[in-house]
A and B are shown apart, each in its own frame.
Chain A
């Protein structure tokens, strides 16, 4: 029991009494108020004002920089789109030019081909006509020759028409001559 009493006494001694924990010293209040207000005034002038303005300045700077970056990005994107459109247009134009060139070349080729064909045909026709003419000429010559030969043969027959045996020999000889020719 005395132990518990002593404990209680200890706790109470800590709480009150002279020089206790809850004693308020007016001098300390005085100094605390003066110290704190002086600290507030000094720090406000010396530290808080410059620091806070610097911080808000920096925040503004960062915000502006971000905005600038944003607009720069938008500009760049727009420029890229413009460029892309220009490239697309150039591509289209190039393709058009190539297409038209191809068409022209095709037309030219077809035209050339026809011309060549016509020329060839003309040459073939000329050659054919020449051949025909030569044939005709040869035929005429042959006719003349045959006539001559026939006249010759008739002359020979007429000259040596004495006996039958001789005639036959003559004819055979003539035929031989013919075949040899």
Chain B
């Protein structure tokens, strides 16, 4: 075989590979929202479309999985609450829930908000458990990660933003809160500039929350899909063990990420609430 023909074969293979690699639709299909629930190989359940005042409010895949998270949480936490009515000593799964609840209360809310943290604990607990459950639902077969949708994370971050501002305004008063945004001892001519900067800062915080959660939850899934996709792109069985091993590793990493991102979102929300409530430091 001469060099030219080898070159031709290599470039041919490369062209084929790139052509296949361009077809990323199936990865996006898996990650994006849609009006269907897929249960391969059994079939697809199409969800109804809904419109309200000209807005598309269809019950999509991610909505279904958010509701699933709600049902799981209400069922699980309702049982935990009932168990506490019987006895103050937790048993079985209640221990796990108690660890998480106490973690949010004592490790997240108490140190970051400080005095008067009790008011915000229900919100932080709800955010933590909701995000955690949504994250985990993305890791089960046939599941979808609602928290890997930018619309969902943006909504959660917006709610967080509202809670942060409401907390600050309720504690310091409307004008007191906005006055407190500025650092002490600022030269007068800097005040307008700094005010705009600080005001922007208020919005960048929840924006970062939304992007962080969305990116982290999306990235892991894309990597898993891409690793498994190598098998079909390269069309060889030899890559399968490597792909599966790496995908499994990323999957385990995803479990960690699911926990960490729920923690980070709650932790940062709590931190921002603390900064808004106690502005002097």
Binding site for A on B (CB under 8 A): 14-15, 18-19, 21-22, 24, 27-28, 31-33, 50, 55-60, 62-63, 66-67, 70, 73-74, 77-78, 80-81, 84-85, 88, 98, 101-102, 105, 118, 121-123, 125-127, 129-130, 146, 149-152, 154-156, 158-159, 218, 222
Contact = CB atoms under 8 A, between A and B. Distances in A.
Q: Is the interface of B mostly helix, strand, loop or mixed?
A: helix
Given A25-B151, A51-B80, 17 more contacts: A7-B18, A24-B150, A25-B33, A25-B56, A28-B62, A28-B152, A29-B151, A30-B55, A32-B66, A33-B159, A38-B70, A40-B123, A40-B126, A43-B126, A48-B126, A52-B121, A55-B98
Contacts of B28: 14, 19-21
B92 to A, nearest CB: 15
B150 A21 contact: yes
Contact of A36 (B125, B130, B150): B130
A37 interface: yes
5 contacts: A25-B33, A31-B59, A36-B159, A42-B70, A51-B81
A63 B78 CA distance: 27
Contacts of B62: 28
Given A32-B66, A46-B81, A51 B101 contact: yes
A27 B56 contact: yes
A35 B77 contact: no
A54 B14 contact: no
Contact of B60 (A28, A52, A57, A58): A28
Contacts of A58: 88
Contact of A27 (B57, B150, B218): B57
Interface of A: 2-3, 6-7, 9-10, 13-14, 19-33, 35-40, 42-44, 46-52, 54-55, 57-58, 61
Nearest to A14: B24
A15 to B, nearest CB: 10
Contacts of B159: 33, 36-37
A32 B156 contact: yes
Residue among A13, A24, A54, A58 with max Cβ neighbours from chain B (10 Å): A54
B111 to A, nearest CB: 17
Contacts of A20: 28
A27 B60 contact: yes
Residue among B56, B74, B84 with max Cβ neighbours from chain A (10 Å): B84
Contact of A28 (B33, B74, B88): B33
B197 to A, nearest CB: 26
A30 B156 contact: no
A1 B248 CA distance: 33
Contacts of A32: 63, 66, 146, 151-152, 155-156
B232 to A, nearest CB: 15
A57 to B, nearest CB: 7
A22 B24 contact: no
A6 B81 contact: no
B28 to A, nearest CB: 7
